[in-house]
Amino acid sequence: MTQPLTNMQMRDVEALLHPYTDAVALRQTGPLVIDRGKGVRVWDDQGREYIEGMAGLWCCGLGFSDEELIEAAREQLGRLPYYHIFGGRSHEPAVELAEKIKELLPVPMARVFYQSSGSEANESQIKLQWYYNNAIGRPGKKKIISRIRAYHGVTIVSGSLTGLPANHQDFDLPVDRIRHTSSPHYWKDAKDGESEAEFVARLKADLEALIEREGPDTIAAMIAEPVMGAGGVIPPPKGYFEAIQPVLDAHDIALISDEVITGFGRTGNWFGAETLGMRPRAFSMAKQLTGGYAPLSAVAFDGDMAEAIEANSGRIGTFGHGFTYGGHPMGCAVGIKALEIYQRRDILSNVRRIAPKLHALLDRAAQHPLVGEARHCGLMGGLELAPPGRKGFRVGGKVGPRLSAELLKHGVILRPIGDTLAVCPPMIIGEDDLEALFAPMEAALDATMHWARAEGHLD
């Protein structure tokens, strides 16, 4: 029996439309109202404490209420609370952050362009590709390749790049010019007896066939997350990017690395492209760019693109793209401080030290009969639930949320992605808190399995 909604919960359901939420079900359960946070923990409006095992939405890499980030925002608000970079205007925080981003990227990039969100960053990436190819006389080279189960955002084009059915259903997506190639999920998509190397070879062949079918001269770019995030935390098999990069290079198809989740230390290197052996011509960044403390995103692109784009703006008389809050001085100031903290506190070393512990805990949880596979890379991972001996439930997306709800009763916040439970704690987490995060996992899995059996999901 559900509890009556509190006054705040009633106000919420009458005022807000929540992203990625069943609004009908929410009227029965009410939202979890978070009141404050400190370190790796948050407290709801009833005073209950939780370990935040998702760093919010993959973004609070330095945890909650970091005094240095708060002070950076406060100081910038007192000096220049807002200005733009339209029409040749500028300010020092935007310049300094762009310089720092360029220094950290594993591949030389020439220019940085700002937005407010990861969706906007990937929307900008595609517009830049179209603009660039027009500028250099290739008006037919406009199609973009993404992947099944990819997540690149929710705007019209970035939502089309996303390869998840729920993001397309009843939104009239995907739009034209977007194509999807195979997902690199070996456990789910490999054929019986197929080795990882054979699986990678098949994915390479699938990509080659798609390019040939569409016509190489019609394809501008391929966008890829180094590790698929909101599609289920799916690291690619060994050698995957090394196999597809020559295919893209042979047809002058740019590789765009979507680092919205994997950027700034999450995989144990500054960028996931370095961890996974990618050679991108452009990068998308957001989330941990400011530690989640301010909405800011950035794209970076190479010298060839910069030269052509800037020259074309001279021909037209302007570069007709930009966002009111792109390069917001407070967001940039917080971003500068976040990058400084990552370096000064050596957050990369903590990720590399703690990641094996996370992997071991995930692998231990995978011994439970309700878990089909554990996946991990750096300080992120996922537990995919499935009936014993199978790779999915007949009705998907029910058991994962139930496990998340069981863990919530124990004071642990993790995110269900269909029937995968995602784990992405703040990068400051220590071993004791990581142990506490997983302490109720077995009991929660047992309770979830009992429920799944009673509901007929394990028949």
Please report, rounded to a whole number, the percentage of residues in the chain having pLDDT higher than 70. Answer: 100
pLDDT at 5: 95
Per-residue confidence at 3, pLDDT binned at 50, 70, 90? confident
Per-residue confidence at 216, pLDDT binned at 50, 70, 90? very high
Strand-pair partners of 44: 34
The whole-angstrom distance between residue 242's C-alpha and the CA centroid of its chain comes to 22
Residues in the chain: 459
First to last CA, the chain: 26
pLDDT at 431: 97
**pTM for the whole thing?**
0.96
Residue 4 C-beta-side C-alpha neighbours within 13 Å: 2
How large is the C-alpha radius of gyration of the chain? 22
Strand-pair partners of 376: 381
pLDDT of 170 above 70: yes
pLDDT of 260 above 90: yes
Hey, what domains does the chain have and what are their CATH numbers? 32-65+346-454 (3.90.1150.10), 68-344 (3.40.640.10)
Residue 274 C-beta-side C-alpha neighbours within 13 Å: 16
What's the chain's average pLDDT? 97
CA distances from 430 to 199, 351, 379, 396, 442 (A): 36, 10, 11, 34, 21
Per-residue confidence at 1, pLDDT binned at 50, 70, 90? low
Quick: pLDDT tens for 271-307.
Answer: 999 999 999 999 999 999 999 999 999 999 999 999 9
